[in-house]
Structure 1
């Protein structure tokens, strides 16, 4: 028997109202305002740096200032996701630091509200932030990134400088597919297809100047050179057209045109699982999947590490100094995550451990510093 959706929503709202008290809302609203301010500032800063980088391409083909500005605006949502964890830390430091300067923390503690209770109010803010981040990553970032790449490639189409932007490799059914350039999402150019036998020997090589991608996984190759290899014998064929059944669907091809970090989380999960069923390596995609999974843990770690730098600074140290030290810790943590991500690829580390361990270590550091501050 199906439940009434309206009634279920009403029950969820009632449960949320019981869980979130007026004190929670007061603290969370202050932290949320600081968080949004930091996100906007960091996103604007990195967008400005990206705009400066895009200026190097202005003048090539039909790529102008308006194209560069459009590209930066379309890729801004992905930068919002990138700066969210460190923005959470800075927002907590600024909001709770303002409470400390205004003696509000002292007033709250004087009426029996513990520091853990105050941090718990901020932790509840992580729930809606994670939901918003997921919605952005699933529904906003991928189409915006795809549109940005398509428009940029179209504006630069008269030059060779951007030909490699949409190039990628994909493996399946003992075949390797390399596409050098895409015109939109249904036309590929400069395609190489390598086919191998079970023993690893190459059986055929196909090069086509163009391919029209159909929804039934059929590619119509045009201006084709096909080489069939049988031992030491080579047989060359030049064909005007050649149908080829791809091992990847049109949707997968469209997603693989995007950088792994901008792929939708659900589609990324299904793609990694499919590669796992084929016993194919997908380290880069697994790394990105676990990075997305670790985001809620990173937010919690960032909130927790703010506590020891706001509550009870040692005598002789100002709250401002403590907040600055906390911000440095958060920035170092973000850099460490990026370094571990690169080491993951170089040293073939476990993607789950590489994504989760830094956040767990930061949480342990936060607990240690909090206890040390209250000895």
Structure 2
């Protein structure tokens, strides 16, 4: 069995590596062509060809994380179908590779891909994507979202704050910061507008060129007066627990963040009475997404028990690829529907994998056990 296992693992790893390399090269080319439109638009010392090449290179881990399950499916299907076409799998079956042992062997390899996918998606991809975004922010003028920037809320003692950040312009630097302060009755107490801000080492924000407007109201039976006091400050220190990761999460796509960063941001949203449905779905998708590699290898195993004619392997491999693409389409559709219908986040993220696992096991049982 050790020899059979080594044969299967070697063939699958080579096939998966070849398919992955092909997909990454294709995405690298598309990304590079897309980045060329920004080259030279921000002046001589701005975004240059070398920066575009570096940004596209740093985007490779994110694409690898997204593509790995489907390349596992394509590579495994190709190997299983080729072994079946050449009757090598029939020889392996007569050598003691029964259906359940074959399933166990592929699941063990699938677990290795699960660990690899989790490591890339939770450590390598977030770091490289953040580095790419910081390069673009430095040479293109900042990371922003929409026309209003990112909004974050925080409760402190008997007051609450709403912070708005227009853009990130570098490592730990913000641009266009507005902070609204409300009292316990929900009335606006003050408004601060800062030209820029930085994250201090103690967790506070250091704001520069601050214009502060304080609203004073006095409501008694005799008088009803209100006044506005405006002050300008060169710097201002605002104590807060809103970290760099939270601002990055609000400005960047949540699926680009690490699982722990998403979890902390969800806790922050819940603690401040904000809806976290979208981020909870993304959190559970990042938890269950690596497990889709197991679904892919189970989906590929029945192809080893099909009977192929000469040249018929291409049709079956294409069918398997379409099945894999439909899995990812269903995964995205469930995410949007779950967000709109307020489904349980873990159920929304786990449902596509569960459905395809049942279909894969049903195909395995019908093709292998009954035939």
**Of residues 311, 318, 321 in structure 2, which corresponds to 1:324?**
318
- SS of the residue corresponding to residue 331 of structure 1 reads helix
Distance 2:14 2:151 in 1: 43
**Of residues 7, 10, 30 in structure 2, which corresponds to 1:49?**
30
State the 1:247 CA deviation. Answer: 2.8
- SS of the residue corresponding to residue 209 of structure 2 reads strand
Residue number in structure 2 paired with 1:223? 209
Structure 1: tracts of 5 or more residues without a match = 1-19
State the 1:275 CA deviation. Answer: 3.8
Residue number in structure 2 paired with 1:12? none
State the 1:27 CA deviation. Answer: 1.1
Check conservation: 2:143, 2:251, Cα contact below 8 A: no
Taking a change above 3 Å as real, the CA distance of residues 181 and 355 of structure 1, as seen in their structure-2 partners, is same
**Of residues 60, 63, 73 in structure 2, which corresponds to 1:89?**
73
Check conservation: 1:214, 1:250, Cα contact below 8 A: no
Give the CA RMSD over aligned residues.
2.6
Check conservation: 1:228, 1:235, Cα contact below 8 A: yes
**Of residues 254, 257, 263 in structure 2, which corresponds to 1:260?**
254
Residue number in structure 2 paired with 1:237? 230
Taking a change above 3 Å as real, the CA distance of residues 191 and 76 of structure 1, as seen in their structure-2 partners, is same
Residue number in structure 1 paired with 2:221? none
The 5-angstrom pairing of residues 162-181 of structure 1 reads: 164=144, 167-173=149-155, 174-181=160-167
Check conservation: 1:215, 1:249, Cα contact below 8 A: no
Check conservation: 2:39, 2:52, Cα contact below 8 A: yes
TM-score of the superposition, structure 1-length normalised? 0.84
Distance 1:56 1:89 in 2: 34
State the 1:313 CA deviation. Answer: 4.6
Residue number in structure 1 paired with 2:199? 213
Taking a change above 3 Å as real, the CA distance of residues 187 and 55 of structure 1, as seen in their structure-2 partners, is same
Residue by residue, what CA displacement relative to the aligned partner does 1:237-275 show, whole Å, maximum 9, x if unpaired? Answer: 131232211231345445655432222223333333454
Residue by residue, what CA displacement relative to the aligned partner does 1:299-335 show, whole Å, maximum 9, x if unpaired? Answer: 1111111123332358999343222211111111111
The 5-angstrom pairing of residues 40-119 of structure 1 reads: 40-61=21-42, 62-119=46-103
Q: Does 1:193 align with 2:193?
A: no
State the 1:230 CA deviation. Answer: 4.9
Distance 1:284 1:68 in 2: 31
The more displaced of 47-56 and 83-92 is 47-56
Taking a change above 3 Å as real, the CA distance of residues 229 and 247 of structure 1, as seen in their structure-2 partners, is farther
Structure 2: tracts of 5 or more residues without a match = 218-224
Distance 1:347 1:48 in 2: 38
Residue by residue, what CA displacement relative to the aligned partner does 1:118-160 show, whole Å, maximum 9, x if unpaired? Answer: 2321211122222222322333222221221121222223xxx
The more displaced of 287-296 and 181-190 is 181-190
Distance 2:311 2:53 in 1: 44
Residue number in structure 2 paired with 1:361? 355
Distance 1:104 1:120 in 2: 19
State the 1:224 CA deviation. Answer: 2.0
Q: Does 1:184 align with 2:170?
A: yes
Higher relative contact order (CA 8 A, sep 6+): 2
Check conservation: 2:175, 2:195, Cα contact below 8 A: yes
Residue by residue, what CA displacement relative to the aligned partner does 1:312-363 show, whole Å, maximum 9, x if unpaired? Answer: 3589993432222111111111112122223333333322111100010001
Q: Does 1:24 align with 2:5?
A: yes
